[in-house]
Amino acid sequence: MYMMIKDSGGRRLYKIAKIKNSIILGDAIKVLPKLPSGSVDLIFTDPPYFMQLPSKKLRRWGGTDVLGVKDGWDKFGSFEDYDKFTIEYLTQLRRVMKPNATIWVIGTYHNIHRIGKIMLDMGFWILNDVIWLKSNPMPNFLGVRFTNGTETLLWAVKDKQVKKYTFNKSVARSYDPSGLGMNVWRIPLCSGDERIRDRSGNKVHSTQKPEELLRRILLTSTKEGDIVLDPMAGVGTTGAIAKRLKRNFIMIEKEKGYVREIEKRLKGA
């Protein structure tokens, strides 16, 4: 069973037992401070990229449109605003991690370097950067730079002293043809039946992550019964996979339309 909770905006603290396997409709910046300290085993966060695409249409060779992230949720006034937002949610995420919890943050070249610096400055200790190598990346713009075929995941603990975190090394090895358990995961973009579309066939979410990515994250760094938090859940890939793998989830998402899609998705998960 799962629940949808609409954050009332008040200051009342949430009890973990009440929000386990829930989607909270609300702003993570307001909701996270109301979560109990030291309460989750794993965090996966896929924050806005602050992509700053130009307002004019970008076209590829051959004339097709470039469909970047143009959503309102990806817009910030400046790098300072973006960093302030990042510091606010990461401070709360660090607080709600159990002592041996780990955190995964995914981003592109637009944002991951800023986030990585902020994490290190805050005391997080980075265990790995895992490269998601897209086996079918979007072709490049006008041939003026390399085709961007990767995203970067930072996997970290709260601080350097944390040693007893979950790492299922046999699972990690099974993803790597060399058997070494390397930090490069070759996974296609989310497509086919997995991609959530509206009645007209348009993508419901511009950056829905592939289920295989979340499957690898949860299988390598959690155990059955663990609590997984995703504070900017989009269309709920984290919760859908957590449910399937018998992990508990807490998801926060501020857009009502996406939360509706999560509800539908969880019914089928």
Q: Tell me whether residue 41 or residue 46 sits nearer to ligand SAM (CB atom).
A: 46
CA distances from 18 to 150, 171, 263 (A): 38, 32, 17
Q: Tell me whether residue 107 or residue 227 sits nearer to ligand SAM (CB atom).
A: 107
SS3 category, 169: helix
Q: Which chain residues interact with ligand SAM by CB under 6 A?
A: 27-29, 46, 48, 73, 205, 207-209, 232-235, 237, 252-255, 258
Run of H or E including 43? strand 40-45
Q: Tell me whether residue 227 or residue 262 sits nearer to ligand SAM (CB atom).
A: 262
Q: Tell me whether residue 51 or residue 182 sits nearer to ligand SAM (CB atom).
A: 51
169's CB contacts (< 8 A; 6+ apart) are 181
In whole angstroms, how close is the CB of 7 to ligand SAM at the nearest point?
10
Nearest residue relative to ligand SAM (C-beta): 234
In whole angstroms, how close is the CB of 133 to ligand SAM at the nearest point?
18
In whole angstroms, how close is the CB of 168 to ligand SAM at the nearest point?
22
In whole angstroms, how close is the CB of 66 to ligand SAM at the nearest point?
17
CB contact at 8 A, 139 and 147: yes
CB contact at 8 A, 212 and 158: no
Nearest to 109 by CA among 151, 54, 142: 151
